[in-house]
Structure 1
Amino acid sequence: MKKKFFTLISVYFLLFSCASWRSENFSEYTAIPDEIKELSGRPNISLSLTRYDIYENGKKVEKEPNREEEKKLLDQMKTLYGESKLFNLVDEDSPSKDITVEISVTERFQSNTAMTFLTAFTLYLIPRKTQRTFVFNTKFIDKKKQLLGMVEKMDSIVTWHQFFMLFAMPFATASDARDGIINDLTQYTITEAHQNGYFVELSE
C-alpha cells in the first residue's frame, strides 16, 4: 500500500514538474476600428499553410509532416481570420479569392542535453530550462499573383522543469501557452497587415 502511495505521489509531481511562461515579444498596436470591420466590400481570402519546419538545437527535424496537427492549426487560423470581421469569406481554396494568404511556421526548440540528463537523473531536483520559439511568416498575394506585403511575428515559450514547479505561479501548461501564441501571432499579423494597407484597395 505504501509503495503504491509513493508511486502515485511521484507520478503526480513528475506530471506537474514543469511550468511555462510566454515571452510576449509584441509592441503596441492600434485596434482595428469597428467601422472598418463593417465595410460592404470586404475581400475574400484563401488561407494555406505552406511550410511547418521544426528545429531542435539548431538542427532541422526531418520527419513526415503531421497532417492532422497542420489541419488543426490551419482551422484555428481560419477561425481567427473570420472573427476579425475584415473579410467576406475565409476559405482554404476559394475560387473567388481576392487575396491568397500563405503562412509558413518555424518552430525552434532549444535545450541543454547535459541538463536534460542531469535533471532526470536527480528526479527533477536540479532544474533545467527549455525554450520553444514560434515564427509566423505570412505573405499576402493579390489576384494577379503580386505580393501585397509580408508580415513576420514571433514569440517564445520558456519552460522550467523542476520537482517543485507545481508551486510556481502564475504559469501555463506548454499546450495552453502554444494555443495562446498561435492566437496572438495570427491576430497581430492580421492587424499589422491591415495597418499596412494590404486590404484597403480591395475593400473600397
Structure 2
Amino acid sequence: MNSRLRGLIAAAYDRFIKYALKFGVVGIIGLGVDVAVFNMLRLGIFGTDHALSDPIGAKTTAVIAATIVTWFGNRYWTFRAHRRKNYLMELLEFSTVAAGGLGISLLCLWISHYVLGFTSLLADNIATNVVGLFLATTFRFLMYRYWVFGHHREKGLSAQNREVEAAEAAIYEDEEFVLDDLDRPTARTRSDR
C-alpha cells in the first residue's frame, strides 16, 4: 500500500471514522435506554395510573432519558475534545438535534402509515425503526459532529471569548491586555513590548 493511500486512510479515521464508531456505541446504549424505559413504563413497572404509562407519555419519557444518556456519552467520550465550557447551551443544541432526529423518524412513520397506507405493525416498525432510524441517525451524527461538537468549538466558548476580548483590546488600544498567541490573555506593560 503506498504512503499516500495510508495517509488518506489515517486522515479519514482521525477526522470521521473514529467519531462514527464511538457515536455508534453511544447510540446503541441510548437505544437500550429508550427501549428499556419505554417498555418499563408501558408494562406498568412504576404503576399504571399516570400519563407516563400511555404510549405517547412512555415514548416521550424514554426519548428524554435516552437523550440525556447519549449527551453524556457523546460529550465525555465521542466528542470530548470538542466539548464546551457552556454545557447548558451545548445540551440545548444537542436536544434540538435529537428532537429533529425524532421528527425524521416520526415523519417516516407518518408517510408510511397515513400516506402510503402501510398500516401493519411490521410496516410501522420498518418505517420508523429501519428507514427512520437510518435517516435520523445520519442526521444526528452529522449535526453533532459539525455543529454541536464541531471543530470550530474545539477550544470551547472560553477561547472564543478570549479572542473577542483581544480584538476589543486591539480596537480600543488597551495597553494592559495583549493576547499571547491567541491562547491566553496576558497583561503586559509598555516595557514588555
**Fold conserved between structures, TM > 0.5:** no
Which structure: larger Rg? 2
Larger % of helix: which?
2
- Per the normalisation by structure 2, the TM-score is 0.31
Larger % of strand: which?
1
- Per the normalisation by structure 1, the TM-score is 0.30
Q: Which has the bigger relative contact order, CA under 8 A and spacing at least 6?
A: 1
